[in-house]
Amino acid sequence: MGRQHTTPGQPCRLIKIGVTGGVGSGKSLVCRRLQASGVPVVSADQLARQAVEPHSRAHKQIVKRFGKDILTADGTIDRPRLRQIITQDEAARRDLESYVHPEVGVQMQNHFRSAAAQGAWLAAVEVPLLFEAGLQDQFDAVILVSGDTEVRIHRIMQRDNVSRQQARALMHIQMEEAQKRRMSDFIIENNGSIDQMHAQVDRVLEKLAEKYKKIGENG
């Protein structure tokens, strides 16, 4: 995948993990398990919300591109309305990403610096459109959370109170699952119970510790 990895003899450094997956795959649940295991985790969606707060550069760019109708009464971005627009307009989606992604990238690096300063050996970022945004080279390893299509559609409909057609539209704007699987280092199949998912996350952490942390301790 072109990412740089720790080699024997080097001291341990912060290992940067990207957690991604299609909409409805269960990325947030996986990240909660990582957090419960002591891994500092931040969501790119959370960073994106911060990036488009009123008076920010991205906020101004979005209003200029989409007009003031994209704002709520308090001046914040109407995210559901904006999401509806970008699922129907490819050019609009690309423009939005060009405004938001650079700002998210800066905040992501701040997260990693903070984790390293606190003595963490591993930190993660949940990035829904990691591959779509070409961010894979910013991580030492990528965890893909995967789920069967019908399972994901049901989750989206339940979570967002949307129709089956709207759920499919959200899935359509993302990269094909098969391509993501080829580009990922670890794959968590999230079609079963919470306990089954937790067990898979724990195994991934064990493999990461074996590959990176022990190398650093022996270096």
Binding residues: 24-29
Which residue, 9, 211, 32, 8, is CA-closest to 124? 32
Question: Which residues define the annotated binding site for ATP?
Answer: 24-29
Q: How buried is 47 (Cβ within 10 angstroms: 0-12 exposed, 13-18 middle, 19+ buried)?
A: buried
Cα 97 to chain center, whole Å? 14
Cα 118 to chain center, whole Å? 22
| Sequential DSSP letters for 76-123 | SB-HHHHHHHHHH-HHHHHHHHHHHHHHHHHHHHHHHHHHHHTT-SEE
